[in-house]
Amino acid sequence: MASKLPDVGTTIFTVMSRRARELDALNLGQGFPDYDIDPRLGELVAAAMQAGHNQYAPMEGLPLLRERIAAKLNAGYGLAVDPEAEVTVTLGATEAIYSAIQAVVGAGDEAIAFDPAYDSYEPAVRLAGGRCVRVPLAQPGFRYDWERVRGALTSRTRLILFNSPHNPACTAASAADLDALAELLAGSDTVVLSDEVYEHVVFDGLRHHSVLTHRQLAPRSFAVFSFGKTLHATGLRVGYCVAPAQLTRELRKVHQFNTFSISHPLQHAIAAYLAERPECGRDLAAFFQAKRDRLRAALEGSGFSLPAAQGTYFQLLDFSAFSAGDDRAFAERLLNEARVATIPLSPFYAAPPRLPFVRLCVAKRDSTLDEAAARLNAFAARAGRS
Ligand SMILES: Cc1ncc(COP(=O)(O)O)c(C=O)c1O
């Protein structure tokens, strides 16, 4: 049988997590916390099941949860979102991304993604019959090159896949970036899919700029969020998509035949949790910034340099003092010689440049971060600088 995605293998996250288990290495690769969730969330899940919320949930999402999401957007961004017409609960952000892409991209359409791009974007575009046009972020610092984006726009550009805070570049888009995007799209009917799963995780006093707050972008945008990230529980697999009514209608046409509806007890539990802890996202920036800073301080003087992440729960490790080789080979070396699993950036590129970075996940216990730093320091001392 001819494969529809012949070049797609197992994701780098799964590969590195499997290798970490085989080698009993510390896993700073895949983005998931290794600490406990708030026990209250667990209690609320159990209570929701005991209360009998165990049959199909409404297709669009539990009304109560959608109301709480609208209240969260109001508290966080001052937005007045209609939970009935503009909020859809999805199976994590992954399903929101997939369903939104299927809803708007058709055969022969193009979608622009910025490299390094989160790995689910391009396969979803291709399965919709479209072509993903990859525009690299500029070095140094993974900056948007808006002239290059202008050059990539054609009459077939149906969708722009935007992501801020950005995984894996660990950058946060500025208000000027959103203005530049809006200006480029003015007069076209190109839609924006804005992946904002790390909305709460921006550091050093920076602010998250959501497309939902942008006057020109909001009417043409899907914005995608993840309770897995916000509640430190990536296994929940509950996310949501906020979009104007017309885009939401199209999204739901796909969603209803993709997942139909999302775990009913989990939606009740999350709705109750948001009512009890409406501020739960607000502490995330300080929480993860402390972890980022702990890891950076512990590796000071190692020879690795760690350009301060602006956001996400990742931190890049620059290994250029140790190797001029490629990032996959260096990640493999760290796995074997330091017993630390990381994620190279090249799998996130269509045409990978030679960049000296691997990505570390800082959403780990302090003790895990300390042990990882000790192993990386010992590796650095043994390896010597090149
Ligand atoms: C940028 C980005 N988008 C989407 C996702 C997927 O989110 P979810 O786990 O809610 O499906 C992730 C998960 O790591 C991510 O980093």
pLDDT in tens, 93-145: 999 999 999 999 999 999 999 999 999 999 999 999 999 999 999 999 999 99
Lowest mean pLDDT among 26-35, 43-52, 121-130, 239-248: 26-35
**What letter does residue 307 receive in the DSSP assignment?**
P
Distance CA 257, CA 96 (A): 13
Supply the pLDDT for residue 287.
Answer: 97
Helices vs strands, H then E, count in the chain: 14, 12
- Write down how long the chain is: 386
Taking Cα atoms as reference points, which of 284, 307, 285 lies closest to residue 295? Answer: 307
* Nearest atom, ligand 1, residue 238 CA: 10
* Contact between 123 and 173 (Cβ < 8 Å): no
194 lines ligand 1 (CB under 6 A): no
CB of residue 197 inside a 6 A radius of ligand 1: yes
CA of 119 to the centre of ligand 1 (A): 10
The torsion defined by the Cα of 116, 121, 126 and 131, in degrees rounded to 10, comes to: -50
| Residue 193 in contact with ligand 1 by CB distance below 6 A | no
Q: Is the pLDDT of residue 365 over 80?
A: yes
For ligand 1, whether the C-beta of 33 sits within 6 Å is no
CB 168 near ligand 1, within 6 Å: no
E strand or H helix at 283: none
> When comparing pLDDT for 144 and 279, which is higher?
144
pTM: 0.97
Q: Rounded to the nearest whole angstrom, what is the distance from the C-alpha of residue 93 to the centroid of ligand 1?
A: 6
- Residues near 83 by Cβ (< 8 Å), separated by ≥ 6? 63, 66, 67, 69, 70
Confidence (pLDDT) at 386: 66
Distance 94 CA to ligand 1 centre (A): 6
Largest Cα separation within the chain, whole Å, is 62
Q: Please state, in angstroms and as integers, the Cα–Cα distance from residue 318 to each residue in 28, 294, 296, 369, following that order.
A: 15, 17, 12, 17
Please report the pLDDT score of residue 384 as a whole number: 82
Query: Closest ligand 1 atom to the C-alpha of 166?
Result: 1
- The answer to whether the CB of 94 is under 6 A from ligand 1 is yes
Contacts of 352 (CB under 8 A, 6+ apart): 326, 327, 345, 346
- 144 within 8 A of 173, measured Cβ to Cβ: yes
Give the pLDDT mean for 295-317: 97
Average of per-residue pLDDT values in the chain? 97
**Ligand 1 close to Cβ of residue 11 (< 6 A):** no
Buried b / exposed e over 216-225, threshold 16 CB at 10 Å, is ebbebbbbbb
